[in-house]
Amino acid sequence: MKKGRAAALTAGILAAAAAGETVYFYRRTMKRGKAKTDRTVKMAGTDWSQYADFIAERKEQLLAQPHEDVYIESDDNLKLHATYFPQGQERKAAICLHGYTSEGMKDYLALSGYYLRHGYSLLLPDARAHGASEGEYVGFGCLDRQDVLCWIDWLLERCGEETEILLHGTSMGGATVLMASGLTLPRQVRGIISDCGFTSPKEVFTHVMHSMYHLPAFPVIPLASLANKRLAGYGMNECNAAREVRKASVPILMIHGSADHFVPASMCEKIYENIASPKQKLIVEGAAHAESYYKDTERYEQALDAFIASLS
């Protein structure tokens, strides 16, 4: 009996420890206000200070353009925000989706210069639970891909049915546009660009726990997935970009840095192998997470030029 009680006590302690670890992980990762930008930047490991002057210059140029705040309602009744920069006759536009714990007006400050030079209107949404958009739980692309459809509808209503649209996402935004590729997209969506997008929340969290914290994913990730299904409405492997691109009909450009340790380049290769639609790929040597445009601006823009030309 004593051995039985000891075993039961040990099991109880381990279960309580696992539950505590899961709650800690979940709150820091999935809930608005608990997921911190500085922690994400530290984990990603990219040295952004070296690009501060470049980003500041592009920000000044972007903010000098006419722009406006836009609000729409998601399918689950959240008020979502974006900043819109109209260009010319508004006959072509890029919807640019930011990464985890960022905002629409942060991740595309530098890259905005490319799109503005090429006459693209820019729509820069704040993902749900980010920036000025409502939401308590991060969507990690699984929910955000439905929000993308709402933004496409807004853009077509604003600009007209003949507007040509590109979807461009970075990190979580990159996963979002890849997950959206599996949906029925309007004919106006001509191409999808994913920069350092991941396969699924489950796989990227598992990688982070193994590589950065040297912890096993079990039982924390399965338990967190169950909690997220109940609280946020989706499981952490419910929507996987590597599966969704098998249904893609829109051409896709994949971009990734070879030195990305946050979202490993192997995820890019896995997704690329599964893409059913016309596809192109750029691996930027030595680039860390979300650094590809800054590490080799010329090659990045050449890849965009070639991809966009292939859509004609």
**Considering the chain, what is the average pLDDT of its residues?**
91
Q: Is residue 26 assigned to a domain?
A: no
Report the distance separating Cα 116 and Cα 20, nearest Å.
Answer: 48
Asked whether residue 15 is assigned to any structural domain, the reply reads: no
Structural domain of 134: 31-200+239-310
Give the position of tokens 């499981």.
Answer: 235
Q: What is the DSSP letter of 127?
A: P
pLDDT tens figures, 54-102: 999 999 999 999 999 999 999 999 999 999 999 999 999 999 999 999 9
* pLDDT tens per residue, range 104-129: 999 999 999 999 999 999 999 999 99
Query: d(Cα 208, Cα 215) in Å, to the nearest integer?
Result: 9
How many folded domains does the chain comprise?
A: 1
Residue with tokens 């192109």: 280
Instruction: Determine, yes or no, domain membership for 252.
Output: yes
Q: Does residue 229 lie in a domain region?
A: no
Query: What is the rounded distance in angstroms from the CA atom of residue 131 to the CA atom of residue 102?
Result: 7
pLDDT for the residue numbered 12: 37
228 belongs to a structural domain: no
| 231 domain residue, yes or no | no
CATH number at residue 145: 3.40.50.1820
**What pTM value is reported for the model?**
0.92
pLDDT in tens, 259-285: 999 999 999 999 999 999 999 999 999
Helix (H, G, I), strand (E, B) or coil at 211: helix
Assess if residue 216 is contained within a domain. Answer: no
pLDDT of 11-34, one tens digit each?
A: 333 333 345 557 767 877 888 987
Inside any domain, residue 155: yes
For residues 229-261, b (16+ Cβ closer than 10 Å) or e, as one string? Answer: eeebebbbbebbbbbbbeebebbbbbbbbebbb
Residue (of 151, 217, 218) closest to 183 by Cα position: 151
